[in-house]
Amino acid sequence: MPYIKKVTTGMIILFLLLTVLPHQTLALGVSARTAILIEQESGRILYEKDAHKKMRIASITKIMTAILAIESGKLNETVTVSERAIQAEGSSLYLQKGEKIKLEDLVYGLMLRSGNDSGVAIAEHVGGSLEGFVVMMNQKAQEIGMTNTHFSNPHGLDDHEDHYSTAYDMAILTQYAMQNETYRKISSTKVYRAPNPNEKWDRVWRNKNKLLTSMYKYSTGGKTGYTVRAKRTLVSTASKDGMNTIVVTLNDPDDWTDHMNLHNYAFEQYDLVKLKGQGTLNKIGNDFYKGKVFIKRDIVYPLTTKEQSKVKIDIQLQKPERDWKKVENVPNVVGELSVKIANKNVANVPVYFDNGEVEKPKGSFWELFKRIFFIASGVNQHG
């Protein structure tokens, strides 16, 4: 019998997105060439339209650039802006050659004002060179399960033919990035001030994401994009009553409206339901395990009203070995709890034995959630 042990983030994401329940495929009036709507923590797909089609993605590329910069641990370092950076075409922070600027400020400029010069400066500092950073981008994409993506630059300009992704893959990337507190803070910032070393006034950057700044009260962030070839691209995140959602549209002439409609669809049609609470498992038939086995997390999942009556929970435990009379001989993981809804598997969670080696969950769900933001069982803030 298989037991869940340690798996990579990418494997978790792939599992979630490939084993979720049937999702909406009917037209919701979405103008985008391709689109996807997922519930953030579980990864359940709630709507999709040609979500695996490879497309140009424009500046939503910068989500990858931003998260790599944040994860580098170099946000407090000073970057010297190169000639190559200031020559970047399109949207710009108007950086000057040789100026010194904090990497953190560059990331804010990248995400709020979509500065292409900022993207190159970040890439050169974090990756050692633009080309080295592109290698990092593709390594991270592979790590987190973006199987139909290839990056060729840090900003999304149409300067390469092999720079592309899909709505599905960009949802995976956003889901991954939203684990990071610093990314969430930057993505949700409406206005940011950065020192200007060559002028008496600060730079002031206002976020281009109109959903966040004026149009949609449930918006929590995202990234806009546009090039002549990619057309309008948009990633947005939203939250209502504890449910967090991600929408990605590619080549969408009416993206603001489509995103609001898709987020609202999720909030109106689905509820977050706690399927199983963390802690000791009750009603265990085997006397050896009674009062001694537990799961470390709540299992919370977005469900329609009809689906809520179709939940089935199954617990499979190993047959106790003879030498398990000594508690130290009992392995940490002794089984698996699985959740099925309408005969579709939606969660597999390891069952732990209280042998003194595994820390049992303590405190409220909120405290646990802060420590384990992104997990295979689909924990969300509601519950």
The one catalytic residue among 42, 49, 62, 219: 62
Residue 37: name the closest of 269, 343, 231 by CA: 269
**383 pLDDT more than 80:** no
pTM of structure: 0.83
Contacts of 312 (CB under 8 A, 6+ apart): 339, 340, 341
Q: Pairing state of beta strands 333-341 and 344-353?
A: antiparallel
Q: Does 102 have pLDDT greater than 80? A: yes
d(CA 305, CA 327): 43
Whether 114 is catalytic is: yes
Band of pLDDT at residue 369, cut at 50, 70 and 90: very low
Q: Would you say residue 8 has pLDDT above 50? A: no
d(CA 106, CA 120): 10
3-state secondary structure of 80: strand
- At 270 the three-state DSSP class reads coil
- For residue 380, name the pLDDT band (cuts at 50, 70, 90): very low
> Residue with structure tokens 């732990």?
352
Model pLDDT, residue 245: 98
Quick one: CA torsion of 249, 268, 41, 18, rounded to 10 degrees?
A: -70
Q: Buried b / exposed e across 29-40, counting CB within 10 Å, b at 16+? A: ebebbbbbbbbb
How far is the CA of 179 from the CAs of 29, 68, 176, 303, 314, in angstroms?
A: 30, 13, 6, 22, 29
* Helical residues (DSSP H) of the chain, grouped into ranges: 9-18, 62-71, 83-86, 103-113, 116-127, 130-143, 167-177, 181-187, 210, 255-269, 365-371
Measured between alpha carbons, how far is 334 from 373 in angstroms, rounded to an integer? Answer: 24
Tell me how long the chain is.
Answer: 383
User: Do the Cβ atoms of 179 and 371 come closer than 8 Å?
Assistant: no
Model pLDDT for residues 44-90, shown as the tens digit of each residue: 999 999 999 999 999 999 999 999 999 999 999 999 999 999 999 99
Both structure tokens of 328:
């130290």
Identified catalytic residue from 91, 114, 118, 187: 114
Cβ neighbour number for residue 166 with a 10 Å cutoff:
23
d(CA 58, CA 152): 12
For residues 271 and 269, what is the distance between their CA atoms, to the nearest angstrom?
A: 7
Q: Which amino acid is at 56?
A: R
Q: Is a pLDDT exceeding 80 seen at residue 291?
A: yes
Closest CA to 222 of 269, 257, 190: 190
pLDDT higher than threshold 80 for residue 125: yes
Euclidean distance between CA atoms 259 and 220, whole angstroms? 12
Superfamily of domain 14-269 in CATH is DD-peptidase/beta-lactamase superfamily (3.40.710.10)
Beta-ladder partners of 205: 192
In the chain, domain spans: 14-269, 272-371
Looking at the structure, give the CATH architecture of the domain made up of residues 272-371.
Answer: Roll (2.30)
The answer to whether 44 touches 20, Cβ cutoff 8 Å, is: yes
The 10s digit of each residue's pLDDT in 18-44 is 434 444 444 478 999 999 999 998 999
Question: Among residues 59, 118, 187, 377, which one is catalytic?
Answer: 59
Categorize the per-residue pLDDT at 359 as very low, low, confident or very high, splitting at 50, 70 and 90: confident
Beta bridge partners of 222: 236
Q: Is 274 a catalytic residue?
A: no
Percentage of residues of the chain with pLDDT beyond 70: 87
- Known catalytic membership, residue 72: no
Report d(CA 341, CA 22) in Å as an integer. 10
Q: For the segment 167-226, what is each residue's pLDDT rounded down to a tens digit?
A: 999 999 999 999 999 999 999 999 999 988 878 789 999 999 999 999 999 999 999 999
> DSSP assignment of 159-216, as one string?
S-TT-BB-HHHHHHHHHHHTT-HHHHHHHT-SEEEE--TTSSS-EEEE-S-HIIIII-
